[in-house]
């Protein structure tokens, strides 16, 4: 499979291009979608604690770190993707980033050891992982008060039907075959 590249679009590492292996099903969030998302979050990212539950190429996580997140935790189960993430962290000397190479649902299915201000939920589109991860974020109390949660799905998916009822939708858009939205949870 051909390798891919992702370009960081803002912040300290703006315009840096990061390589990643081209695993089947790995689709980085497009530049246009990331630009919109981080415009939505421009005042929320600096100093925030960020969790990227299905890191993949790391496009969202590296973008958050580049824009001033104080801590970014990436969860990635696939060994080759995790290896790429680690190499890119080292390339950028990204001391605020941590990688957990394990299944996101297994990691989330334990009492929270910390709470996150911002969470990225962008699981493989043809899976049932979105609803399970969202439920675990709530049940195990991983979300800080007023946490914002970014959700990315295939265009045809009704994300609202899969998410906890106490999450409030703030924004929603579509771009090509991608549906994406921003949610907020409050205690």
Question: For the segment 23-33, what is each residue's pLDDT rounded down to a tens digit?
Answer: 666 778 888 99
Place of tokens 């050891």: 113
Name the burial class of residue 162, with classes exposed (0-12), middle (13-18) and buried (19+) by CB atoms within 10 angstroms of its CB.
Answer: middle
Which parts of the chain register pLDDT below 50?
Answer: 1-2
Cα-Cα-Cα-Cα dihedral of 99, 163, 20, 18, to 10°? -80
CB atoms within 10 A of CB 156: 9
Tokens of 26: 């790995």
Residue 19 forms beta bridges with which residues? 5
CB atoms within 10 A of CB 22: 13
Domains of the chain (ranges, CATH numbers) = 4-185 (3.40.50.150)
Cα distance between residue 49 and residue 72, in whole Å: 6
Residues 127-146 have pLDDT tens digits of 889 999 999 999 999 999 99
Q: State the Rg of the chain over Cα.
A: 15
CB 6, CB 26: distance < 8 Å: no
CA distances from 66 to 45, 93, 98, 115, 177 (A): 10, 11, 14, 21, 27
CB 55, CB 81: distance < 8 Å: yes
Place of tokens 């990204």: 94
What angle (nearest 5°) sits at the alpha carbon of residue 144, between those of residues 143 and 145? Answer: 115
Residue 180 forms beta bridges with which residues? 152, 173
CA distances from 147 to 115, 133, 142, 185 (A): 9, 15, 9, 5
């Amino acid at each position: 499979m051909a390798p891919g590249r992702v370009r960081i679009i803002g912040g300290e590492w703006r315009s840096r291009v990061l390589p990643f292996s081209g695993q089947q099903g790995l689709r980085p969030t497009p530049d246009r979608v990331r630009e919109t998302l981080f415009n939505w979050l421009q005042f929320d990212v600096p100093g925030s604690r960020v969790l990227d539950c299905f890191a993949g190429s790391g496009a969202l996580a590296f973008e958050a770190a580049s824009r001033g997140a104080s801590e970014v935790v990436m969860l990635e189960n696939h060994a080759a993707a995790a290896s790429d993430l680690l190499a890119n962290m080292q390339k950028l000397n990204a001391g605020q980033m941590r990688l957990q190479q394990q299944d996101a649902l297994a990691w989330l299915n334990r009492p929270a050891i910390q709470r996150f201000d911002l969470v990225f939920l962008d699981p493989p589109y043809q899976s049932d992982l979105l609803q399970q991860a969202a439920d675990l974020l709530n049940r195990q109390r991983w979300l800080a008060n007023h946490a914002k949660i970014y959700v990315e799905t295939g265009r045809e998916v009704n994300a609202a039907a899969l998410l906890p009822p106490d999450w409030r939708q703030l924004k929603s858009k579509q771009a090509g075959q991608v549906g994406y939205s921003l949610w907020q949870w409050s205690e």
